[in-house]
Amino acid sequence: MASLLEKIGTLISANLHYMVDEALKSNSIAVFDQYIRQVDNNLDELEDAAATVGGEARMLRRKYDEFAAKTAELDRNIDIFLSEGREELAAAAQTKFNSTKRLADSYKDQADRQQSEYQKLLDARLKLEAKLTTVKQEREELQALLTLAKSKEVSVKAIKSLDDLVGSGDTDVARVADSIRARLDKAQAESDMVTTRLDRQMDDVLERETLNRQLEERKRRLGMSAAS
């Protein structure tokens, strides 16, 4: 799973300025097409992984709820047995309580880890989809720019970056190139903002889930139902 997230992270952090310069150097948008194929393939893998991990997280959470409920019941029974002076039954119930609680705690730890992993996968998918949208838009713009440069007879051999096109001497080509450069800067800034916002939202979600689990556990200890 870590390797998948690492691959996704590399795709998300891809430098759009670098991709544009590489496309201009080769007079081809192949670098964009290759990136889009890689993203499409990894999005499919990401969807499968998220579905698997999300399903495991829900299953583990159900197991935890099941054993937590058994633990709460045993805890109440121990108190009843002791109040009735039935210490042997209380000791037996305590032994069962201890083993059941260990299982509940184990399922809780596993469920928490899987839920955290699931949120990371969902976060990565949102970020990658946003980056893909930007790349597709810039691909179309760059294709139009290359076509324009060719029609204006701007020497493609002299093109190594947007700066070269901005200073090409042709007003139309320079204007389009400068517009693309400005959009790339804006897209990068927006991408950074989205990433920051999504990271904050994921932190809020995880914090809320932790608080909810803590409250549910406290309710069980108090003998209260989950709905109360």
Taking only the tens place, the pLDDT of each residue in 54-87 is 999 999 999 999 999 999 999 999 999 999 999 9
Amino acid found at 83: S
- Give the global pTM: 0.64
Regarding predicted confidence, which is higher, 145 or 120?
120
Contacts 24+ apart (CB under 8 A), 183-186: 183/138, 183/141, 184/16, 184/17, 184/20, 184/138
Q: Where are the domains of the chain?
A: 2-221
Q: Centre a 10 Å sphere on the Cβ of residue 200 and count the other Cβ atoms it contains.
A: 10
Q: How far is 172 from 165, CA to CA, in rounded Å?
A: 10
Taking only the tens place, the pLDDT of each residue in 186-212 is 655 655 665 666 566 556 666 666 677
Who's near 37: CB < 8 A, 6+ residues apart? none
Contact (Cβ atoms closer than 8 angstroms) between residue 183 and residue 138: yes
Total residue count of the chain as it appears in this document: 228
Q: How far is 196 from 198, CA to CA, in rounded Å?
A: 6
Q: Which of 18-27, 83-92, 105-114 has the lowest mean pLDDT?
A: 18-27
Token duo for residue 211: 């608080």
Q: Which of 16-20, 64-68, 157-161, 177-181 has the lowest mean pLDDT?
A: 157-161
Amino acid found at 24: L
List the helix and strand counts (H, then E) for the chain.
6, 0
